[in-house]
Chain A
């Protein structure tokens, strides 16, 4: 009875954008461009490359995400691990973020999936909820979306 594995959960966000996949690919894979919309990083589009996303440290969260490039298919698919770092590394969440670009008539369908959340990732939630909510920028919108 105790052997049942924990189910993991994913977050999926999709949006069609009126831009060609090649251009969106640049925004997803060129470090300085990625920094403009996501976070400071030392990303390189090389499978196996280990890198970090760095946000401002928050109480109980060092702001650093440990990542490794897992898959690259130019203009189509990009996948990297997205893991807790430092003291949180051993017990915190280990997730995978996958970007998929699909050409459409009006531009590109951009899909991101973050998979691998477990129910016991609660500690990370406690530590990161400050950071995530603040980073989301429009905090009121986020909080409204919770209830």
Chain B
């Protein structure tokens, strides 16, 4: 529970990696070369970012001949959603306490 968000947040903290992930979500499956075009980042750098995204469970790869195709795995964002529900849980707990106080204010 502790490690999953750490890896995911570190992965998404890099704006280039985030941009690659967003592009895969938006445009579907891409090769390294397609992702390198217009990115202003070198191909080895893009490959390295894809490796990190893959380790975090955000990207899947598929080999076809000499090409590797990458696609987004949005379900890899689950730890982030879980993290958000921790904050939701904080406020829900405060709502409970607010209601307890309101009931006491009646008396």
**Which residues of A line the B interface, CB within 8 A?**
1-4, 6, 9, 11-13, 15, 17, 19, 23-24, 26-27, 33, 36-38, 110, 112, 114, 117, 119-122, 125-126, 129, 132-133, 135-138, 141-143, 145-147
Q: Taking A2-B39, A37-B98 as given, write out 15 further A-B residue pairs in contact, using a Cβ cutoff of 8 Å, ordered by the A residue number.
A: A1-B41, A2-B15, A13-B91, A15-B92, A17-B98, A27-B101, A36-B101, A38-B94, A119-B9, A119-B80, A120-B9, A120-B12, A120-B13, A126-B6, A132-B90
B38 at the interface (CB under 8 A from A): yes
> Chain B contacts of A15 at CB under 8 A?
92, 95, 99
Residues in A whose Cβ lies below 8 Å from that of B90: 132, 135-136
Which residues does B use to contact A, with CB under 8 Å?
A: 1-2, 5-6, 9-10, 12-13, 15-16, 18-20, 22-23, 38-41, 80, 82-95, 97-102, 105-106
Q: How far is the CA of A141 from the CA of B104 in the complex (A)?
A: 24
Complex alpha-carbon distance, A145 and B85, angstroms? 8
Interface of B is mostly: helix
Smallest distance from the beta carbon of B39 to chain A beta carbons, Å? 4
Residues from chain B with Cβ under 8 Å of A147 in the complex? 1, 82
Interface centre among B22, B38, B85, B93 (most CB of A within 10 A): B93
Identify which of B16, B87, B101 contacts A11 (C-beta below 8 A).
B87
Kindly provide the distance from the CB of A147 to the nearest chain B CB, expressed in whole angstroms.
7
28 A-B interface contacts by CB (under 8 A): A1-B40, A1-B41, A2-B39, A2-B40, A4-B22, A9-B84, A11-B87, A13-B88, A13-B91, A15-B92, A15-B99, A23-B105, A27-B101, A33-B105, A37-B101, A38-B98, A112-B95, A119-B13, A121-B9, A122-B6, A122-B13, A125-B5, A125-B83, A129-B2, A132-B90, A133-B86, A145-B85, A145-B89
